[in-house]
Amino acid sequence: MLDTIFYNGRICTLDNRNAVYEAVGVSQGKIAALGTNRDLKPHTGPRTETIDVKGAVMYPGFMEAHNHLAIFAYLLDGIDLSAKNAGKMDDVLERVKADADKKPDGAWIKGARYAEYFLAENRHPTRHDLDPVSPANPVVLFHTSFHACVLNSRALEKFDIDRKSATPRGGIIEKDADGEPTGVLHDEAMNVVFNRLFSNDMSAMKTHELASFCQRGALHFASCGLVFAADAMVGPQSLAMYQAARDAGQLPIRIYTMNLSTESDDLVNARIKTGFGDRRLRIGPIKIFADGGMSNRTAAVGTPYLTPPHGKGLKIQSREELIEKVRGYHRLGYQIAIHAQGDEGIRDTLDAYEAVLGKTSGNPLRHRIEHGGCMYPDLLQRTAAMHIPVAVQPVFFSELGDGFVEAFGAETADRLYPFKSMLAAGIPLGGSSDCPVSEIDPRKGLWGAVARSTPSGNVIGPGEALTMDDALRMYTTGSAYLSFDENVNGTIEVGKHADFTVLAEDPRDVPLETVPQIPFVMTVVAGEVVWAA
């Protein structure tokens, strides 16, 4: 007898035949039967749970190939400075002041998701803006790219950043004409700030607090139809958080960790490799940064940005150092995931992968590229020849697209994220959001992959738009491939995990502009409803 039967649904398997069924049966967390309601009825026993899907549409569970769940959870109680909340500098300052008025002197004020191009003034806030509204509290506001932040004077003091501070390698400390820090930090300079704050706060939590903290963030992901998340910035504190939630039974979705190379010594020394763990919590690749972020203009590019700081971005390390790191981790048998956004960052990444794979390869360890924004034709062909999968973020168009056009110009912007060409070349693509850089909601990612429309209505690279069917497969079969899960997830087939995303309507059957509003009905992991509307 089956443990659970979901019936009266439209079960879209996304298998090779694109088969559709009325009911699906689950046994011991796996798919055991597919067919009509009548087909599955004889498999109902006294302990079988039957769940009426009421005509809703069931897909293989949506999988997030690249996000930052731990950081998302950490920032949940901070100030949301996304475009919907902050359209001008006064909006930012009012929210900071309101938080400062509620907190005791000395308490940290944290915000996230601002961008200079979201603001009417089209510039970053500085310490000079923040100091008057937060005279007694240190403030840190993280840029939506999570490659930059701004500190007020009290926060700068806590981190001993002043006019004498040297610019860290792979980072930028912005300074004014007099040589004084403005409070704006980029990449490695920002990482020092975040890592210390995050580490201190997480270390102060007890095990049960870590579990609850993780569960809160993971349930938000589940409410967006997600059954799986690959956290792309995992260190000891966040790994301890996931383990605490796993042990307490408070991890509702599956987690695949991307382990920061700068904090992976313990894993390497213990010989804990990619794949270690169970299907709820697994060690994934070693994560390395090749360059900065496109949305804060620090991704390494060959042609200068059209907007401040008017440079070519930065590389986090030299090409030679990147090659040496890749050789080392490849030799140890790890999957490797490299953040590479600009064309020069991608070029260095491909040089490093070519050093261990050769110019053509089956890429058995599935070394990956994270983002791949400036994947121009020559780079695309090299990526395809080595069979390098890419975790992409189509939601960037609807949130950050106008900033891309401003930074690159319309002609070059049309060449960014060439999804259709990448798929045509045989490059596996995994769908994701890079949350909290962008909203976690995969409905917006589906829409972005097909519409490629910016907030102002510009369409970036219309010839690179995907069909909705291809977009759905990017968030299911594509993401499954990137984490070695294609045999257990990504389609609804007998023997695979009973991981499902249930929607009120089929994204393939409704007007494109309505896809982001399709209601989620339920999210199912291993046959268990972990979230329901």
Using DSSP's 3-state secondary structure scheme, residue 233 falls into: strand
CA R_g for the chain: 23
- Residue 313's DSSP bridge partners are none
Residues 6 or more apart whose Cβ sits within 8 Å of residue 444: 395, 398, 433, 438, 516
Quote the pLDDT of residue 196: 95
> Are both 36 and 89 inside the same structural domain?
no
Q: Residue 140 falls within a domain, yes or no?
A: yes
Q: Residue 378 falls within a domain, yes or no?
A: no
Quote the pLDDT of residue 308: 81
Buried b / exposed e across 169-178, counting CB within 10 Å, b at 16+? ebbbbbeeee
> Are both 105 and 139 inside the same structural domain?
yes
> Are both 176 and 95 inside the same structural domain?
yes
> Are both 187 and 131 inside the same structural domain?
yes
Q: Residue 529 falls within a domain, yes or no?
A: yes
Quote the pLDDT of residue 363: 98
Instruction: Provide the residue range defining the domain that includes 142.
Output: 78-200
Quote the pLDDT of residue 310: 73
> Are both 42 and 143 inside the same structural domain?
no
Strand order in the sheet with 390-392: 62-67, 226-234, 254-260, 281-289, 336-340, 368-371, 390-392, 429-431
User: At 286, which amino acid appears?
Assistant: I
Q: Residue 343 falls within a domain, yes or no?
A: no
For residue 474, what is the DSSP state? I
Quote the pLDDT of residue 295: 87
> Are both 49 and 91 inside the same structural domain?
no
What total of structural domains would you count in the chain?
A: 2
Enumerate the H helices of 176-291 as residue ranges: 188-203, 207-223, 236-247, 265-269
Residue pair 146/71 in contact by the 8 Å Cβ criterion? yes
In 3D space, the residue among 338, 470, 347, 448 whose CA is nearest the CA of residue 404 turns out to be 448
Q: Residue 373 falls within a domain, yes or no?
A: no
Crossing angle of helices 236-247 and 188-203, rounded to 10°: 40
> Are both 88 and 175 inside the same structural domain?
yes
- Residue 151's DSSP bridge partners are 140
Using DSSP's 3-state secondary structure scheme, residue 370 falls into: strand
For residue 169, what is the DSSP state? T
Q: Residue 282 falls within a domain, yes or no?
A: no
Residue pair 47/211 in contact by the 8 Å Cβ criterion? no
In 3D space, the residue among 322, 316, 307 whose CA is nearest the CA of residue 352 turns out to be 322
The structure tokens listed for 400 are: 């950050």
Quote the pLDDT of residue 1: 93
Strand duo 62-67 + 429-431: pairing: unpaired
Residue that finishes a domain, picked among 171, 200, 229: 200
User: At 242, which amino acid appears?
Assistant: Y
Using DSSP's 3-state secondary structure scheme, residue 66 falls into: strand
476 vs 482: CA distance, rounded Å: 10
For residue 210, what is the DSSP state? H
For the entire predicted model, the pTM comes to 0.96
> Are both 91 and 130 inside the same structural domain?
yes
> Are both 8 and 94 inside the same structural domain?
no
Quote the pLDDT of residue 142: 97
For each of the chain's 533 residues, which pLDDT tens digit applies?
Answer: 999 999 999 999 999 999 999 999 999 999 999 999 999 999 999 999 999 999 999 999 999 999 999 999 999 999 999 999 999 999 999 999 999 999 999 999 999 999 999 999 999 999 999 999 999 999 999 999 999 999 999 999 999 999 999 989 999 999 999 999 999 999 999 999 999 999 999 999 999 999 999 999 999 999 999 999 999 999 999 999 999 999 999 999 999 999 999 999 999 999 999 999 999 999 999 999 999 999 899 999 999 999 887 799 999 999 999 999 999 999 999 999 999 999 999 999 999 999 999 999 999 999 999 999 999 999 999 999 999 999 999 999 999 999 999 999 999 999 999 999 999 999 999 999 999 999 999 999 999 999 999 999 999 999 999 999 999 999 999 999 999 999 999 999 999 999 999 999 999 999 999 999 999 999 999 999 999 99
96 vs 130: CA distance, rounded Å: 8
CATH number at residue 13: 2.30.40.10
Buried b / exposed e across 223-258, counting CB within 10 Å, b at 16+? bbbbbbbbbbbbbbbbbbbbbbbbeeebbbbbbbbb
Q: Residue 92 falls within a domain, yes or no?
A: yes
Q: Residue 445 falls within a domain, yes or no?
A: no
131 vs 139: CA distance, rounded Å: 9
Residue that finishes a domain, picked among 152, 184, 200: 200
> Are both 42 and 98 inside the same structural domain?
no
Residues 6 or more apart whose Cβ sits within 8 Å of residue 476: 14, 59, 60, 61, 62, 63, 489, 490, 491
CATH number at residue 136: 3.10.310.70
308 vs 297: CA distance, rounded Å: 8
Residue that finishes a domain, picked among 141, 175, 200: 200
**What does the DSSP assignment read for 502-533?**
EESS-TTTS-GGGGGGPPEEEEEETTEEEEE-
